[in-house]
Amino acid sequence: MAETYVLHWHDRHNADQVLAETGPGARERIVSAILTGQAAGPIDLIVRYDPEEHIADNVSEEIALELERCIANGEPENDQARDLIETQCGA
């Protein structure tokens, strides 16, 4: 069974929102969702679930570092990506 990545954020009405991606390329789809502004509000947490190993990991910092690399390579930056990078990496 494949890993699942879950992105948690708050929308403009301060309601909790979630985007989950599973299977091959799930991590890349979460990164893309952030870079394209699908998380329309402050990102709270990104969790990776591995049901085979019964593990859940906070991967917010890992994703922030990946976003930082994407932006350095020319991907457009948005408020959510910048805020996540600042919060997780102190950049």
Q: Please report how many Cα atoms fall inside a 13 Å half-sphere around the Cα of residue 32, on the Cβ side.
A: 7
Written as tens digits, the pLDDT of the chain (91 aa) is 589 999 998 877 777 889 899 999 999 999 999 999 988 888 999 999 999 999 999 999 999 999 999 999 998 889 999 999 999 998 6
pLDDT at residue 1, rounded to an integer? 59
Round to whole Å and give the CA distance between 80 and 19: 14
